[in-house]
Homo-oligomer: A and B are copies of this chain.
Amino acid sequence: MSREPTLRDVADWWGTAVSRVEPGVIELRGRPVQDLIGATSLPGVIWLMLRGEPPTPGQERLLEAALVSSVDHGPHAPSIAAARMAATCGIGLNSAVATGVNLLGDVHGGAGEQCVTLLREISDRAAGGADMDDAAAEVTTAWRARSKYLPGFGHRFHPRDPRRDPLIALVEQAVADGTVRGDHLRAALAVERLLAAGRDRPVPINIDGCTAVIYGELGFPPPLARGLFVLSRSVGILAHAWEETGQGRRNKGPMPPSVLPTHLGETP
Contacts and interface: CB of A to CB of B under 8 A. Distances in A.
A91 B85 contact: no
Interface size class of A (residues with CB under 8 A): 35 or more
A225 to B, nearest CB: 10
Contact of A157 (B73, B230, B260): B260
A236 to B, nearest CB: 6
A226 B93 contact: yes
A94 interface: yes
A102 B106 contact: no
Interface stretch (A6-14, A129-137, A138-146, A191-199): A6-14
This chain's copy number in the assembly: 4
Interface of A: 1, 4-26, 28, 32-34, 36-38, 40-43, 45-46, 49-50, 61, 64-65, 67-69, 71-79, 81-82, 84-86, 88-95, 97-99, 101-110, 156-160, 162-163, 165-167, 169-170, 223-224, 226-227, 230-231, 234-236, 238-243, 245, 250-264, 266-268
Given A34-B162, A254-B255, 18 more contacts: A4-B263, A11-B264, A13-B255, A18-B243, A19-B74, A21-B261, A24-B158, A38-B65, A45-B68, A49-B72, A76-B253, A76-B260, A82-B82, A82-B85, A89-B106, A94-B102, A94-B104, A231-B234
